[in-house]
Amino acid sequence: MKNAAALSEHLSATAPVAGGSRSRRVGRAEPEVSPAASADLSTRDRVTQLLLERGATTAAQLGSALGLSPAAIRRHLDAMLADGDVVAREQAVRGSRGRGRPAKVFLLTDAARVRCGTHHYDNMATAALRWIARNGGSDAVEAFAAEQVAALEARCRAAMEDAGDEPLARAEALAGALTAEGYAANASTIASGGQLCQHHCPVAHVAAEFPQLCEAETAVISRLVGTHVQRLATIAHGDGVCTTHIPAQPRAQSGITVTTVRTDR
């Protein structure tokens, strides 16, 4: 079968072309990509990047951000749905909802996140943590998770050196430091305080089985921001974004921070 395949490849490479001559084979020719196809790939890359940064997003929001018409953005999203790069869900609506069906939001699939550079060595990391859990118990897993984020904490703390003491200002500085680490993070002010969002998680698949990784990371955020925080959503638990709430309250006089992590999903 290998010889037949090689023969077929040779015949294809030297088959007659228009004009009666045979094509010259110099190495393996790359398929030509038309300008239109190249533009489509570029736009899909931009859509992918936006979904990575924003999490669940409507077609209208994507089109507005990219300057595309509803028909154009729909064409790209339909192609990405067919290729398994995105999934569509109904948009969650808080409070009273108007008439009509809720808008759909689009999220990257796990496979698309992998191509964005996430989840390296997941199988090996999960196997290692299972071994630690079997031989050392939950405390050993927690100690391992804390040690793994210690270096990240040190780098972020150095980057936040000039951020001051105000928690929301520190959250903004932390977002910048985490973005430099590849977490695609941003911070914003909301009515009840602040919110830190991480749109990229390099250990999401592993953390889905070992929430100690999320807990250790949340503890780091609490220490770096300087107040207690509450993790509201995580990519590891199926959310589009890791969201950490920073309540608008003064730091406790004792200096002790309290960390709350959602693990009920």
Exposed e or buried b for every residue in 104-121, given b needs 16+ CB within 10 A?
ebbbbbeebbeeeebbee
Confidence of residue 74 (pLDDT cuts 50, 70, 90): very high
For 62, the domain range is 37-92+102-108
Residue 81 predicted with pLDDT over 50:
yes
* Residue at 213 is within a domain: yes
Both 157 and 242 in one domain: the answer is yes
* Residue at 12 is within a domain: no
Both 150 and 216 in one domain: the answer is yes
Both 63 and 160 in one domain: the answer is no
Residue 5 predicted with pLDDT over 60:
no
Q: What is the mean pLDDT of the segment spanning 146-164?
A: 93
Least confident of 4-8, 104-108, 242-246: 4-8
Both 151 and 77 in one domain: the answer is no
Both 240 and 175 in one domain: the answer is yes
* Residue at 191 is within a domain: yes
Give residue 30's identity as a one-letter amino acid code: E
Both 189 and 87 in one domain: the answer is no
Question: What pLDDT is stored for residue 113 in this prediction?
Answer: 76
* Residue at 167 is within a domain: yes
Q: What is the mean pLDDT of the segment spanning 241-252?
A: 79
Question: What pLDDT is stored for residue 46 in this prediction?
Answer: 87
Is the separation of the CB atoms in 198 and 184 below 8 Å?
yes
Question: What pLDDT is stored for residue 52 in this prediction?
Answer: 81
Both 175 and 87 in one domain: the answer is no
* Residue at 13 is within a domain: no
Confidence of residue 99 (pLDDT cuts 50, 70, 90): low
Residue 157 predicted with pLDDT over 90:
yes
Is the separation of the CB atoms in 87 and 106 below 8 Å?
yes
Give the chain's domain count: 2
- The percentage of the chain sitting over the pLDDT mark of 90, rounded to a whole number, equals 42
Q: What is the mean pLDDT of the segment spanning 33-43?
A: 56
Report which of residues 123 and 16 the model is more confident about.
123
Task: Name the residue among 253, 130, 237 with its Cα closest to residue 261.
Answer: 237
Q: What is the mean pLDDT of the segment spanning 170-179?
A: 93
For residue range 214-239, list pLDDT tens digits in order.
999 999 999 999 999 999 999 888 88
For residue range 111-151, list pLDDT tens digits in order.
787 676 544 456 788 888 999 999 999 999 999 999 989 99
Both 152 and 237 in one domain: the answer is yes
Both 55 and 143 in one domain: the answer is no
Q: Which two tokens stand for residue 191?
A: 């009515």
Task: Tell me the CATH number at 77.
Answer: 1.10.10.10
Residue 40 predicted with pLDDT over 60:
no
Task: Name the residue among 227, 233, 234, 235 with its Cα closest to residue 251.
Answer: 227
* Residue at 232 is within a domain: yes
* Residue at 171 is within a domain: yes
* Residue at 203 is within a domain: yes
